[in-house]
Amino acid sequence: MSMNKTFGSTLIIAGTTIGAGMLALPLASAGLGFATATLTMLGIWALMIYTALLMLEVHQHEDHDATLHTLALKLLGRKGQIVASFAVMFLFYSLCAAYIAGGGAQLNDKLNNWMGLEISAQASTVMFTVIFGAIVCVGTHSVDLVNRALFTLKLVALATMLVLLAPHVQSVHLVEMPVQKGLLLSALPVIFTSFGFHGSIPSIVRYVGLDMKSLRKIMILGSATPLVIYVLWQVASQGVLSQPDLMASTTLGAFIATLSELLHNPTVSQSVSIFADLALATSFLGVSLGLFDFMADSLNRGTTGSGRLQTALITFVPPLCFALFYPQGFITALGFAAIALVILAIFLPVAMVKAQRRQRPLQDDSYQVRGGSVALLAATGAGILIISAQFLQMAGVIPAVG
């Protein structure tokens, strides 16, 4: 298996994870303090990489092109397959609709304000969907190549942001203690969704093959890259602004405006805008690739040109329609994204691994994630905690953040 595919797949995992939602992390963790926020991110990352490795343990005994639709049916039965399919489609269609709406708006802004064209918002939204949908329709290799270019540009934009902010970091801000202990619970769903990449795992397995050593490397490095970048971003943002200033910035726009005003540098907002554009694009590629392969498997569409075109229409037309005619419906549904992601990234991997371990005794050449039943129980408990935090926010029991 070539190192080229390993490198490209690692960037797909990292690119899917590092979405525009990263910019909301300082707002979500404003009341926690830097140390508490960093430890929380480290814990969430450990949880997500553990369940990603559980997914690899499940995949090793199945065909390399199996998706969650097939795996859930085989290991959990028809009811498990229905739950898995609903979680995947709910989460991915919601994310795709939100990314299409956001990407179309950003593209429209660039075309009209930067290039002086007169393009309608609807036309820009369709244009965004057609361009990136075509990349996904061609195949994982094309997503790999485009993602590499976009990810490189994204790192340049990120480096620009960090360089501009670094001279203004004050250590006193980084040692501030949590404002309220309850805010940690409120921040969990936002931080958790910032590490979501599990929907792309079947597509990576199909692309790379069942090379477990390479796949483990891809998952660990691909998810560790966002962790490092998130910590650096937290140092820059929480180090520049005090907790009261951060907590007063209730929206992303207000946060960026506060940074620009404090630094007296409009380049900050420009670099943040470019980073958000690129982060949105790479996340959309990863998420829509996962949805494309899932729908192809679920509906038994072939790999012929007509089969891939049918899958593309099923994948992109519904979220495009919602983005054009009823964006608020799916934007509202994103409030439940953490719940769907817990099902997809925690509950299903744990349930499938338990079923597979019962069916298949451990063999010498088999890969099994360490930790046994204790680790599986701990992961399940963490998932219940995150879902509980989301429901408590919706009920107004704890404050909403991010």
Q: Strand, helix or coil at 395?
A: coil
Q: What is the mean pLDDT of residues 13-41?
A: 82
Residue 250: is its pLDDT beyond 70? no
What's the confidence (pLDDT) of residue 364?
Answer: 62
Q: What is the CA radius of gyration of the chain?
A: 21
What's the confidence (pLDDT) of residue 396?
Answer: 80
Quote the CATH superfamily of domain 3-394: Amino acid/polyamine transporter I (1.20.1740.10)
What's the confidence (pLDDT) of residue 51?
Answer: 96
Note the helical H segments in 119-200: 121-138, 140-165, 171-174, 182-193
Q: Calculate the CA 88 to chain-centre distance.
A: 13
What's the confidence (pLDDT) of residue 279?
Answer: 84
Residue 354: is its pLDDT beyond 90? yes
Asked if 30 and 176 count as a contact pair (C-beta separation under 8 A), the reply is no
Q: Where are the domains of the chain?
A: 3-394
- 306 exposure class (CB count in 10 Å sphere: 0-12, 13-18, 19+): exposed
Rounded Cα–Cα distance for residues 194 and 190 (Å): 6
- Residue-wise pLDDT for 269-294, tens only, equals 778 778 888 888 888 898 898 899 88
* Dihedral angle over CA of 156, 280, 393, 258, nearest 10: 50
- Residue-wise pLDDT for 147-162, tens only, equals 999 989 988 888 888 8
Q: What is the mean pLDDT of residues 343-372?
A: 86
- Residue-wise pLDDT for 236-247, tens only, equals 888 887 777 777
Nearest 5°: the CA angle 231, 236, 239 is 105
- Residue-wise pLDDT for 107-133, tens only, equals 888 888 777 778 888 898 999 999 999
Q: What is the mean pLDDT of residues 333-360?
A: 88
What's the confidence (pLDDT) of residue 328?
Answer: 66
Amino acid identity at 378: A
Largest CA distance in the chain: 65
Rounded Cα–Cα distance for residues 116 and 110 (Å): 9
Rounded Cα–Cα distance for residues 263 and 186 (Å): 30
Query: How is residue 152 annotated by DSSP?
Result: H
What's the confidence (pLDDT) of residue 267?
Answer: 77
What's the confidence (pLDDT) of residue 182?
Answer: 65
Residue 358: is its pLDDT beyond 90? no
Amino acid identity at 317: V
Q: What percent of the chain has pLDDT over 70?
A: 91
Residue 402: is its pLDDT beyond 60? no
What distance, in Å, lies between the first and last C-alpha atoms of the chain? 41
* Dihedral angle over CA of 11, 256, 242, 31, nearest 10: -60
| Residue 383 token pair | 């998932």
What's the confidence (pLDDT) of residue 331?
Answer: 60
Query: How is residue 336 annotated by DSSP?
Result: G
Cα distances (angstroms) measured from residue 204 to each of 280, 286, 341, 398: 20, 10, 18, 38
Q: What is the mean pLDDT of residues 225-237?
A: 89
What's the confidence (pLDDT) of residue 10?
Answer: 92
Q: What is the mean pLDDT of the chain?
A: 85
Rounded Cα–Cα distance for residues 22 and 24 (Å): 5
Split at pLDDT 50, 70, 90, the class of 216 is very high
Spatial neighbors of 316 by CB under 8 A, at least 6 apart, are: 96, 129, 133, 288
> Pick from 111, 133, 137: which is nearest to 122 by CA?
111
Residue 252: is its pLDDT beyond 70? no
Spatial neighbors of 111 by CB under 8 A, at least 6 apart, are: 117, 119, 124
Q: What is the mean pLDDT of residues 214-221?
A: 94
Residue 69: is its pLDDT beyond 80? yes
Choice among 101-115, 123-137, 374-388 with the minimum mean pLDDT = 101-115
